[in-house]
Every structure is written in structure tokens, then in C-alpha cells.
Homo-oligomer: A and B are copies of this chain.
Amino acid sequence: MKLDERKQEILKAIINNYFETALPVGSRTISKQYNLGVSPATIRNEMSDLEELGFIIQPHASAGRIPSDKGYRLYVDMVMQLQKAEYRKLVYLEELKASAGRIEDLLKSIAKRLAEETNYATLISTPQYKKTRIKNIQLVEVNSQDLLVIVVAERNQVKDYLIHLEQPINQELLTRLSVCINSELRGMSLEDIDLECIRRIKGNDAQERRIMTEVLDVIFKAIRQMDEADIFTYGASNMMKLPEFQDVGKASSIMRALEQEDILEDIINTTFESDDGNVKIVIGEENNIQDLKDLSLITTSYHINGEKAGAIAIIGPKRMDYENTISNLRMLIKDIDELLTQLSQR
């Protein structure tokens, strides 16, 4: 059996109608509301075929039809093809840019704003870098016994730690230690640093060894933190307004899923790894997370200095407004990459 033009039209009509009502769609409704020039009976025959082809599902014997994941997929692919790359700058970005100084804050604001605008849930990861390289390490004397260690790494990421020392220090000692650390560690990532290198840094003097041990400790901690990404969610409760989640069991399992870090990480990682610079759509069971089988994800990665750095996901019902959401995200990602790159180079 072939999916001819009329079948496609009918499928589109079913999906469109279901998108509006969240209710199974019958043959009579379609015949009346979309003038395809055929009677309900004919449409019934076609619908029977569509069901056989796997594009629609009948929840029970005398109900109308609803789209299957395969049906949604076909529809979404059609939408994506048709969509022209009409570009308009997102107004709120300018606003956010002005208020945010840090990359992380900007990303959070964007996700929050996106959740408000779309009325879906959003997910965002802070930049995740593997093997961040050390650029520069500064040791600064705060008091005579308080030492500030500042680690500057690639992309101008900065972390600092305050160390309280047993014995007093002086600037001359610090300068010497600083030169030594920098000459050994500059350009290194965490896994480049071996025991031999650590031995060389620590040196032989007992007092210096004590200080260096503490300093190295916080340097490693800093780099480890830079390598890691955080994930934030917004607008999860938007899901509970939707008619398809009026069942407490369903709503509850969704809310729980959106609180579970491993699930969120899974979404972000999958997006991140399959990055090809485009917006991706995952419908229902296409992702393998059971608790999210009634949801769709629209995901994309963002980039800093042309390198992929993190991911954004919009989570909504399967009948979500793909067209608008996708185009929103497309535009966003275009501007955001530029903005983040600026921020990281400042």
C-alpha cells in the first residue's frame, strides 16, 4: 500500500485537529472541517489504511484516531522540510545580554525566558569541556597566612580558592612558587599531569612542599569543576496544564523524571553527542527513557568559539507546536553562539 497524496492530506488533517483538541479525531470531523471533497465513509476507508500503515492509532474500538509516533515523525519531517529559513532577531536576547555578565547566568536567563514564551519545559546545560587546559595560575597574598589561588583556563574560565596556611608567607616566596607552577602546568589538562610532574613542582624544601600540596589540591579541584557541566530546568509545571497530563499518575511520573539528574544528563549528552549544528526532534518512544515516552524533545547544541559547548532542550507534549518552537530555537541558536563567544573572549 502506498501513502498517496490524499492519505497524506488526511493524516495531516488528523494531526492538525489532534494538535488543537488533544482528542481522538473521527472521520466526520475531518470531512466537515477540512474540505477534501470526499464523504466520511471514504475518509474512514483511508483512515483504516493509515492505521494499517502504522501512522495512526485507534485508542479503542469506537473512538477516533490519534497519531502514532511514526505519524508524528512523518509530519515533523514534512514541516522541517517546508520551513523557510526566515530569520528574525529575537528581541529578548538584547535585553538578556545587557543584564548578564557570566555565561552561566545568560544561559539560565535564556532557558527561563524560553520556558515562559513557549509554555513548555526547558533544559539547559552549562558549557561542558573535556580536558580544559590551564592558561595561567596566580598566587595572591591576602593576609600573611591567607593565600588566594586563581586558576585561569582556556576560554578565560576563572576559579579561585582561598587557602589558610599554618605558616606565614611572603611575596618573594609566592613569586618563586608561582613561576615554578606556571612553567610546569601551563597548557596542561588534568590527564596530562603525571606523578613526575607533581614531584618536580613540589620540590625538596619541606615548608614549600606543604604549601604546594595544598595549592595543587585546589588547582585539581578547579580544573575538575571546569570540566563538569550543570543542568538546569525551567517550566516543568507547564506540563501539568496540558489536557493529556490531567491524569495524576502520568503527571507525577513526568515531574519526577524532570527532577532526576541522570535523566536530564542523558538528554543533554545525547543531544551533545549527536550535534551537527542543527535542531533535532525526538518524538515519544524514540528516546529510550520510559518516563518521557509521552513527550517530545526539541534539542540543539550551542557553541563557543565554534566548538560545541553545551545543549538546550525544549520538552513538550507530542502534539507540541513543532513549527514555531523549532524556528524559535533555530533563531536563538544562531544569535546565542555569537553572544557566548563574545562573552568568553572578553
Residues of A within 8 A of B (CB): 101, 135-136, 138, 140, 142, 146, 148, 150, 152, 156, 158, 160-164, 218, 221, 234-237, 240-241, 245-248, 251-252, 255-256, 258-259, 345-346
The CA of A101 and the CA of B234, in the complex, are separated in Å by 27
Expressed in whole angstroms, the minimum distance between the Cβ of A226 and any Cβ of chain B is: 13
The CA of A236 and the CA of B254, in the complex, are separated in Å by 12
Checking B138, B148, B156, B240 against A255 with a beta-carbon cut-off of 8 angstroms, the contacting residue is B240
From DSSP, what is the main secondary structure of chain A's interface residues? mixed
The CA of A156 and the CA of B163, in the complex, are separated in Å by 10
- Chain B's closest residue to A248 (CB) is B246
Number of copies: 2
In the A-B complex, the 7 residue pairs with the closest CB atoms: A240-B252, A237-B255, A237-B256, A158-B160, A164-B346, A156-B162, A138-B140
The CA of A138 and the CA of B138, in the complex, are separated in Å by 11
Checking B146, B240, B246, B248 against A156 with a beta-carbon cut-off of 8 angstroms, the contacting residue is B146
Q: Which residues of B contact A101 (CB under 8 A)?
A: 161, 218, 221
Q: Report which residue of A101, A146, A252, A346 has the largest number of chain B beta carbons within 10 angstroms of its beta carbon.
A: A252
The CA of A258 and the CA of B233, in the complex, are separated in Å by 13
Checking B162, B221, B236, B237 against A346 with a beta-carbon cut-off of 8 angstroms, the contacting residue is B162
Checking B158, B161, B235, B256 against A162 with a beta-carbon cut-off of 8 angstroms, the contacting residue is B158
Are the C-beta atoms of B146 and A150 separated by less than 8 Å? no
Are the C-beta atoms of A142 and B148 separated by less than 8 Å? no
Q: Which residues of B contact A236 (CB under 8 A)?
A: 255, 259
